[in-house]
Amino acid sequence: MCGIIGVVSANNVSETLFNGLSNLEYRGYDSVGMCFIKNGKLTVRKGVGKLEEVHRKVNFLKLKGSIGLGHCRWSTHGGVTENNAHPHVDCRKRIGVVHNGIIENYSELKEMLIKKGHRFYSQTDTEVIAHLIEDNLKNGKIEDAVRNALKKMEGSYALGILFAGSPGKLIAARNESPLVVGIGDNENFIASDVPSILSRTNKIIYLEDGEMAVLTKNEAKTFDLDGKEKKKKVHEINWNAEAAQKSGYKHFMLKEIYEQPRAIADTLNGRLENNHVVFEEEFGLTDGFLKSIKRIVILACGTSWHAGLIGEFMLEELAKIPAEVEYASEFRYRHALLGKDTLVIAITQSGETADTMAALKEAKKYGVKTLAVCNVIGSSITRISDGVIYTRAGPEIGVASTKAFTTQLAVLYLFTILLAKLRKTLNEKQIKDMINGIRKIPLQLQSVLDEDNEILKCAELYYNKQNSLYLGRGVNFPIALEGALKLKEVSYIHAEGYPAAEMKHGPIALIDKSMPVMFIAPHDIFTYKKVLGNIEEVKARGGIIIAVATAGDTEIPKKAKHTIFIPKTLYTLSSILSVVPLQLLAYHIADRLGRDIDKPRNLAKSVVVE
C-alpha cells in the first residue's frame, strides 16, 4: 500500500504536499518523492527512506510550483531503491505519475513498449504507466492519452498524473485502490485518504472504480473511461484537522487507545432508543429480511477478524442465529455454500482491504445480502454492500487497530440486540439489561484506562522477554488472539493467543520461568472456575502470570503475579473492556523498546494489495 497526494492551486504547493505526505506515511515509508511543473518543465525529487530523512537530502520545501504530486511507498514490485521510488516519468521526462496498487499485466505492456523503443530505468509496474501514456500521447490531449492507457491496464490503481504540456491540469484515476478528490478555495486536491488534506478542505468527492478526474485550480470534473462526464456528490466531512493529529500524545496509537470512551459513545449516539436499537438510513436491510436470516457469514482480516469471532459469539448466544467467521483471504478461494437466506457481514476499519473486498465480491455472486461494518465513510467496501453500519471511531492513523476494534464490537453488539428483538430470542428485560450494559461502557472503559500505571509497571518488567502467551476462554479467547497480535505488530516480540484449555494439548511445553502468560479471566458463570485451574497449571510450571480480572475478584490476585482489574459488566460486553489493558501493555512495551509504533516495520495501515 502507498500514499498519494496531488494539488493544483493558485499558490505554491510544496508545503501542502509535504504536510499531506507526513499524514500519509502510515501507508508506506520505504521511499518518498514529489514532482512539480513550473515554466513548462517537470521537476522530480525522490529518495529512499522516510519523509524527514529524504527531505534532509533533497529539501522538498525548496521546490516551487503551483501544481504537484507526492508519494510515499510500500514496495510491491521492485526493491527499495531511488530508481523505484515514485514519481515515475516517461522517456522525455514530461509526464509524472504516482501510483498506489498493482498493474497485473505490466510485464506484457513493458515488453510491448520496449519493442516500440521506450527505455525503462526501474523495476516497478508504475513506470509502465508513464510510458504507456507517452505512447498514447502522440495523437492529442493528455486526457485521451490517459484514458486509452487505462483501458490497456489490468489491476488496481489510484493514480496522480501531470504533463508538462498541460501545466494547469492534474489528472487522477482509480480502480480498486482508494482515492478522493478535495474541493478547495482556488485549489483542488487528490489524496489516498481524507485526513491528509483535511487541513485544506473538508469537501470530498469519492472516486469510484473506473473513474477519472481532471482538476484545475478552479474546477474538478469526473469522467468514466469513455470520456462521459459524471456528476458526483460532494461530501462534507465532519472530522476536523485536529482529530487527525496527535493532540499531544506521543503516538497516534496511544491517542487512539485513550479516545475509545469517546469513540464508543459516538458509535452509540442516536442508536439506543428506550428499549431498542435503531440504525441510520444507510443501514439498507429490511426488518423482513433480518427476521428471515438462517445463517450469518462474517468476512474479515486481522483485528477485524478477531472482532468477527466475538460477533459470532454474540449472534449465536443472543440472537440464536448460526454464524461463522472466515478469513477473507481464505474464503475468496473457497467454493462457499451460500444461500439467499444468508447474510454476509464484512468487518473492516479502512473499507479498502483487498482480501475482504475480493471475498465480499465472491459472496455477492451467490446473490446474498451484504452488510459492511466500517469506519471510513464512502470507502470501497461500503459502496458494494447492500447495507452499512458505520463505526464512528474517527480517523484511526496508528497501524495497530485499537478504537476501531472496540467500536466494531459495539456495533456488533447493537446489531445483535436489533436481531434478538426482531426475532424475539430475548425478552424485554434482557434487551433492557443489554442496552443499560452498553450505555455504561464508555465510563467503564475510562476506569480501565485509569489503570495505565499498573500496566506500565508490567511493561517495565517484561519488555525484554522474547515470547509470551495470551490465554482466554469463550468470548475472551478472541481477546487473547487480539492481545497477542497487538504485541507482535508494535513490539516485534513473538506472542501466541490460545484457548486456555488448549494449553494441555501441547503449548504448555513452552512454559518456563521466563515465559509471561497473560490470562484474560473476567468473572463469568461459564468458564471462570476452569480458567482458575489453567492458571494453577501454568503457575505449577513457573510461568509468570499476568491476569485481567473483574474488580472485586479475590481469587485471581492470589495466583497471579500481576492483576489488572476491569469493571463488572455483562459477559459478552467484557471483551470491550478486557482488550484495553492488552492494548496498553503492547504499547508500553513497544515504547520501552523504542519501536516506530505508528509505522511498525513491514506493516501498512490498510492492506490494499493481495
Q: Does 122 bind ligand AGP (CB under 6 A)?
A: no
The CA-based dihedral angle spanning residues 192, 195, 196, 197, taken in that order and rounded to the nearest 10 degrees: 100
Q: Does 356 bind ligand AGP (CB under 6 A)?
A: yes
Only one residue has cell 482556488, namely 186
Q: Which is nearer to ligand AGP, 164 or 399 (CB)?
A: 399
Q: Which is nearer to ligand AGP, 261 or 302 (CB)?
A: 302
Stretch binding ligand AGP (CB under 6 A), from 31-39, 171-179, 279-287, 296-304: 296-304
Strand 295-300 and strand 235-236: pairing?
A: unpaired
Q: What is the contact mask toward ligand AGP in residues 484 to 513, using x (rule: CB under 6 A)?
A: -----x------------------------
Q: Does 177 bind ligand AGP (CB under 6 A)?
A: no
Name the minimum Å distance from CB 525 to ligand AGP: 31
Please choose, from the candidates 382, 165, 416, the residue with its C-alpha nearest in 3D space to the C-alpha of residue 312: 416
User: What are the beta bridge partners of residue 98?
Assistant: 160
Name the minimum Å distance from CB 453 to ligand AGP: 24
Number of Cβ atoms within 10 Å of the Cβ of 265: 17
Q: What is the contact mask toward ligand AGP in residues 401 to 440, using x (rule: CB under 6 A)?
A: x---------------------------------------
Q: Does 268 bind ligand AGP (CB under 6 A)?
A: no
Please choose, from the candidates 201, 281, 282, 284, the residue with its C-alpha nearest in 3D space to the C-alpha of residue 239: 201
User: What are the beta bridge partners of residue 89?
Assistant: 96
Stretch binding ligand AGP (CB under 6 A), from 39-47, 196-204, 267-275, 394-402: 394-402
Overall size of the chain counted in residues: 610
Decide if 434 contacts 272 (C-beta within 8 A).
no
Give first-to-last CA distance, the chain, whole Å: 10
Q: Does 303 bind ligand AGP (CB under 6 A)?
A: yes
Name the minimum Å distance from CB 532 to ligand AGP: 30
Name the minimum Å distance from CB 433 to ligand AGP: 30
Number of amino acids touching ligand AGP (CB under 6 A): 15
d(CA 106, CA 133): 13
Name the minimum Å distance from CB 407 to ligand AGP: 11
Only one residue has cell 454476509, namely 344
Decide if 279 contacts 450 (C-beta within 8 A).
no
Q: What are phi and psi of 100, to 5 degrees?
A: -125, 125
For helices 14-24 and 51-58, give the axis angle rounded to 10 degrees: 150
HSE-up of 296 (CA within 13 Å, CB side)? Answer: 28
Q: Which is nearer to ligand AGP, 489 or 553 (CB)?
A: 489
- CA distances 63 to 14, 67, 162, 584, 604, Å, are 6, 11, 16, 41, 28
Q: What are phi and psi of 234, to 5 degrees?
A: -100, 115
Which of 192, 350, 563, 575 is the binder for ligand AGP (CB under 6 A)?
350
Which of 7, 180, 607, 609 is the binder for ligand AGP (CB under 6 A)?
607
Q: Which is nearer to ligand AGP, 217 or 588 (CB)?
A: 588
User: What are the beta bridge partners of residue 277?
Assistant: 272
Which of 348, 416, 550, 572 is the binder for ligand AGP (CB under 6 A)?
348
Catalytically active residues, by annotation = 2, 605
Q: Does 399 bind ligand AGP (CB under 6 A)?
A: yes
Which of 23, 349, 385, 574 is the binder for ligand AGP (CB under 6 A)?
349
Which of 54, 142, 400, 435 is the binder for ligand AGP (CB under 6 A)?
400
Q: What are phi and psi of 381, to 5 degrees?
A: -70, -35
Q: Does 47 bind ligand AGP (CB under 6 A)?
A: no
Q: Which is nearer to ligand AGP, 401 or 491 (CB)?
A: 401
Name the minimum Å distance from CB 348 to ligand AGP: 3
The CA-based dihedral angle spanning residues 446, 450, 454, 458, taken in that order and rounded to the nearest 10 degrees: 40
Binding site for ligand AGP (CB under 6 A): 301-304, 348-350, 353, 356, 399-401, 489, 606-607
